[in-house]
Every structure is written in structure tokens, then in C-alpha cells.
Amino acid sequence: MDFELTEDQVNIKDMARAFAERTVRPRAREIDKTSEWPADIVQGMSETGLLGLPYPQQYGGVGADYLSYVLAVEQLSRVAMVTGFIVSTNCFTQEIIYRFGNEAQKKKYLTPLLQGKHLATVAFTEPGTGSDPKAITTVAKLKGNSYILSGEKSFATMAPGAKVSVIFAKDDTGRVSAFVVENDSPGFKVGKHWDTLGLRGSGTCPLYLTDVSVPADNMLGEKGKGYDMLLQGISVGQMGMTAEGLGVSQAALEMSVEYAKNRIVRGAPMTNLPTVQVELAEMATKLEAARYLLYHAAWLKDQGKNVHTAAAMAKLFGGEVAVRCTSLGMQIHGSYGYCKDYDIERFYRDAKACQIVEVVSEVLHLIVAQSLIK
């Protein structure tokens, strides 16, 4: 693996960083406070090309690569993790449609997504299930040339801004299939957004499907292969989630160094304290280790390799690093870090999502272990 970024990758990284500083930073605290869907920022990301980075230009994408995608998400998350989360969740959906949609489905649904004309969400998790496909209760019953979907989904990110959803439901064979559902379909209802600890403004809502009629042509890929599609898409989501963790870790490190330099303790900067130096060194070292795990996973994806295990490893370690770095950052800031006037408090709350969203850490351990056993 060549650790040098290409000129295009550097340009995309710099573009995402500039957008985050110029457009996101002035709004970051307000979004966290109100938890309102940041439609203006999403529009800006669309116009900048951040919503279709790793996909071919023939479908409306930028034609970059997956490493560029994680670089951009990292830079956005360094200012506000929710903006990186929006990009990665959208990419999760795009990946499924790109890999498993037919040409008609790509033209109708993927192209507008890559062009940033609208967003999409993925809905798998239900009140009684996490990542177990056997526990899904949402059903899709074939009726003529349509499937009738009924059920409830618990956590659909970006639901207020999404026009389409990829819904996973049990078909008439009892296996899971994936369907592209237009959110304005009769019987499709977006519930009130969850009041979450972090990632506020992500528009995470429950979905209610009551006899929603979906054309049979909107089934993605092979019938009964929905869970396999989910696993492929979720690897891209996990890489994005890891990049978000890198962003908040980097922010925590930068804020902590700056705070410690300017905080005077017994007549000298706080950076003179060995305990603070140890904490800063730990943050920096773990951050770099997590970064290379992620970049390697993205590189493998760009080579056309299976990244199921690599993405799981990156997210498992990256989630731990995000929580640890923001915790140490809070510790360095002391009582000030516990106040909402300091951004470290927001990143501390956001970081926990890195161990929960896109597969909890406990299941990631099992995924990595099973890859070794096999």
C-alpha cells in the first residue's frame, strides 16, 4: 500500500476541510442544540459534490475512490460529526443500489442520489431486533405486480430529508429481500425523530409502513438475498463511521493541545505536566493507528477486495479510539470540558455512537473472530 495520497485525494480532503470550516463550523453548536435537520448544510454538501464521491460519473457520481470518501468524512466530522454521518449513511444506501440495482433502478434512483438531488436512507433495525435477520417482522407480500410492505423500523437516519428508502423485509419465502421504497408512498410514515445523546441533527426516526404498495420491479438484486446486500453496504457504512471517529478524535487532540498550551498551572503551561504529555501522546498514537486501519480498509475496497473483516476491524478499534480520545480530551479540559461552551463536550457525546451505530462493538468482535476461525 502506498501511503502517499494522490493529488486528487489531497484536493478532495482539502475541499471537505474548507467546506467544514466555512459552512459547518458556524452552525455546529446550533445544530447540536436544536437537533434540527440541517437542510442548508446538506444542500451545500450536494453542490460541493460530497454526496457522490466514490461512484462512477456515468451514474452521476464524482468518480473518485473509497479512500477519498473516508478522507472527506473525516474532515467533515472534525468539525461536526453529524455532517460526516449524513454523507456516510447516504453512501451506505448508494452502495447497495450501485452493487445490486439493475440499470433501470440505477438510472431512476442512484443517479439523483449521486447528483445530490435527494437523499436516501436504509431501514433494517426494528424494535425487537438488532442485526439478526431472523428476527425481522416487516413483511413483503406479493400481490399481482406489487409487494405490500407492512412493519416498523426503529432507526432510519436522514428520514426527514430522504425521498427514498431501502427497506429490508421478509418476502413470501420467509427470507429477507431489499426494496427501494419512495417515501411519499401511501401508508409510509416517518415518525418523530429520536432525541439522541449525540449525532443530533441526523434526523434519525422510526418508520411505519402500513400496506405500502411497492412495484415488484423495485426489489433489489436476487429475491431472498437482502441480508447479503446489507452486509456489503454496511461495510461502506462502517468505514464511514470509523472516519467519523477519526474526525472527532483529531478534533479532541487539537483542542486539547491548544487548551493545554494556554492553560497556566503553577506559572507554566499545562503542557509541561508529564501526566498531560502522556495523555496527549496516547491520543496521537491511537489516532494514527486507527487511521491506518481505516485507510487500509478503504484501499482494499478500491482494489475490489472483500472488506467485511477489514472494515469491522477498523470500526472496532476506531470506535474505541474515538471514545478514549474524547474522554482524555475532557479530562485535560477539566471542569471547562464539562461545559457546553467548549466543543469537546459535544464530541464526547458524539463519539459514543462509533461503538453502537453500524453494528455494535460486541458483534464486531464476533465478526473478526469468525473470520479467523474460518
CA distances from 247 to 110, 136, 176, 316, 370 (A): 27, 33, 34, 16, 29
The active-site residue out of 95, 126, 279, 358 is 358
Distance CA 82, CA 28 (A): 9
- All three cell numbers of 225, joined, read 438475498
SS3 content of the chain, % helix, strand, coil (to 5): 60, 15, 25
Find out whether 214 and 179 touch, Cβ atoms under 8 Å: yes
358 in active site: yes
- Burial call 327-366: b when 16+ CB within 10 Å, e when fewer: bbbbebbeeebeeeebbbbbbbbbbbbbbebbbebeebee
- All three cell numbers of 133, joined, read 435477520
Distance CA 356, CA 343 (A): 22
DSSP state of 305: -
C-alpha triplet 293, 298, 302: angle, nearest 5°: 145
Find out whether 66 and 118 touch, Cβ atoms under 8 Å: no
Distance CA 95, CA 257 (A): 38
**Mind telling me the catalytic residues?**
358
